[in-house]
Structure 1
Amino acid sequence: MASILVIDDHRLVASGTKSLLQNAGFEAEAIFSADYLKEKIESANYDVFLIDWSFPEVNGLEISKKIIKLQPQAKIIIYTGFDSELAIVLDQLIEEGISGIISKTASVNTLINAVHAVISGYSIFPNTLVKESVYTLRLKKETENLFSEREIEIIECLIDGDTNKEIAAKLYITQRSVEYQLRSIYKKLGIHSREQVADRVKEMRIISPDSYKIHG
C-alpha cells in the first residue's frame, strides 16, 4: 500500500485530503507545518509528498528542495489553489524534480488518478498551466533585455515598498539617479506611477512570484 504525506498549513484542508486518500486505499498522514518535515521523513518513508504551495514563510519549491535533499527519489505533487501563478516557475519546478501539480479544486477522482500516475513514474501537469508556461517563457525572452540590471534592482525595491530615498540608500546611488531610472522604467512598462509597477511587472512575468511582497 502506497504511503502519502500531506503537508498543508490549513488543518481542515490537510485533514480532509488525508481522509480522501485513506478512503481511496492509501496510507496517509498529514502535518501542518514544514518545521516537522525533517523529523517526519527521518522516521518514515513515503511514496508521495502532497505539498501545499503557499506557506506563511516558505513556498512549495523550498519545501520540495528540503525533501529531495533528504530523500532524492521522492515523488512530489504541488497541491495548490493558485496553479496559474506557477506558470512562471514551472520550468524550475520540473528541473528540481517535481512530479506534478494539481489544483485544490480538482475532483477527488482527478486527485487519486494523479497520485497513482506519479507513483507509476508519470509526471502530471495541467494542460492550461503548460500552455501558460510556454507563453510566459516566450514573453520573458522578449523582455529579458528590456531592462538594465539597475532597473531590475529598482523594480524589486519598488515591489518591496521602498521610497526613493530608501532605494537610493540601498543601492548606493543618488535620489536624482533613482528618479531618472524610474522615468525610464515607467516608460518601458507603459505606466505612470509606482503603484502600478507590481501588477504590470507580474503581468509581464519579469520577476518571480516570490518577489511580490506588496502591491503598490
Structure 2
Amino acid sequence: MHKILILEDDHKMASELRQFFTNRGFECDQVYDGHIFFKQTELTAYDMYILDVNVPGLNGLEVCKKVRQQNRSIPILMLTAYSAVEDKVNALEFGADDYLVKPFHLEELLARVNALLRRSSNTKIEEKHVYKIDDLVIDSAELKVTRNGKEIVLTPKEYKLLELLAAADGRTVSKQTIASKVWDINFETGTNTIEVYINYLRNKIDKGFARPLIHTRAGFGYYLRSLA
C-alpha cells in the first residue's frame, strides 16, 4: 500500500483528495503548511508527495526544492492554480516530476500518481543501494549487512525491516507502515510482532556496540540513525 503526503491549504480540497485516495487503497495524510510538512515527514516515511504551490509558511516550490536536497528519488507532483509556462517550468526546475493545473479531474490526478509510483518502483528495482549509517553498512544488491566490518546474519523478515528503516533516512517509520511493507497486513494494536522483531534487530545490530542505531519514537514508531 502506497503512502502519500498532501500539502494543500484549502481544507475542503485537501479532505476531498485524502478521501479520494483512501477509497482507492492508498494511505494518505494531509498538512496545510510548508513548515508542518517537514515535521510530518520526520514522523512518517512516504512513497510520494503532492504539493500545492500556494500554501502558508514555505510555499510548495520551496518545499519541493528542499525535499530534493534531501531525497532525489521520491516522486513529487505539483498542484498549481496557474497555467503560465513560467510556472510550469519553475515547478520542474525545482525538482517536481510532474504538475497539474487546477481545476483538474481526480481521475487524471490518479493516473499521474500511479504513473509516477510505477516509475519510482522500477527505478528502485534497477538501482543498487548501499545504505551507510555510522559503521553499519546495508548492501541491498548483495543482501548483506555488516557493522564495523563484521557481517551480521539476518532472517529475510529482519533484513526487510532493517532496510525499510534505512530507506527512511533517519525519519520515523510508523508501525502501520512497517506492518504494510514488511508483513503486507494492516496494523493491529493487539499484536506485538513488530516489537519482537525490533528486539531481534537490536540484539544483532546494537548489542555489543557503544552507539545504538535503532531507536523508538514513543507513540509513533522506530527510526535508524546515529545520535553520536
TM-score normalised by length of structure 1? 0.51
* Partner Cα distance (2:115, 2:95) in 1: 15
Paired letter, 1:62: E
Match of 1:3? 3
Match of 1:28? 28
Deviates more, 1:23-32 or 1:62-71: 62-71
- After TM superposition, give the deviation of residue 56 of structure 1 in Å: 4.1
* Partner Cα distance (1:71, 1:121) in 2: 16
* Partner Cα distance (1:52, 1:77) in 2: 9
Q: What is the CA RMSD across the aligned residues, in angstroms?
A: 1.9
Match of 1:40? 40
* Structure 1 residues 43 and 70, CA gap change in structure 2 (3 angstroms): farther
| Alignment deviations for residues 111-147 of structure 1 (CA, whole Å, 9 cap, x no partner) | 110100111228xxxxxxxxxxxxxxxxxxxxxxxxx
Indicate which of 93, 103, 113 corresponds to 2:91.
93
Match of 2:112? 114
| Alignment deviations for residues 15-45 of structure 1 (CA, whole Å, 9 cap, x no partner) | 1111111111111110111121222112211
Indicate which of 95, 100, 103 corresponds to 2:101.
103
8 Å contact kept, 1:41–1:70: no
8 Å contact kept, 2:88–2:99: no
* Structure 1 residues 59 and 38, CA gap change in structure 2 (3 angstroms): closer
| Alignment deviations for residues 72-119 of structure 1 (CA, whole Å, 9 cap, x no partner) | 32211011222x13x114344323321111133221211110100111
Show structure 2 runs of 5+ residues with no match.
121-228
Could you say what secondary structure the match of 1:109 adopts?
helix
8 Å contact kept, 1:2–1:47: yes
| Alignment deviations for residues 165-204 of structure 1 (CA, whole Å, 9 cap, x no partner) | xxxxxxxxxxxxxxxxxxxxxxxxxxxxxxxxxxxxxxxx
Paired letter, 1:101: Y
* Partner Cα distance (1:93, 1:79) in 2: 9
* Partner Cα distance (1:41, 1:72) in 2: 15
8 Å contact kept, 2:34–2:60: no
8 Å contact kept, 2:53–2:60: yes
* Partner Cα distance (2:101, 2:81) in 1: 6
* Structure 1 residues 39 and 70, CA gap change in structure 2 (3 angstroms): farther
Could you say what secondary structure the match of 1:121 adopts?
helix
Paired letter, 2:41: I
**Larger strand share, 1 or 2:** 2
Among the aligned pairs, what percent are the same residue?
25
**Larger helix share, 1 or 2:** 1
Q: 5 Å matches for 1:1-216?
A: 1-82=1-82, 84-85=83-84, 87-121=85-119
**Number of equivalenced pairs:** 120
TM-score normalised by length of structure 2? 0.48
8 Å contact kept, 1:49–1:77: yes
Please tell me whether Structure 1 or Structure 2 has the larger radius of gyration of its CA atoms.
1
8 Å contact kept, 1:21–1:27: yes
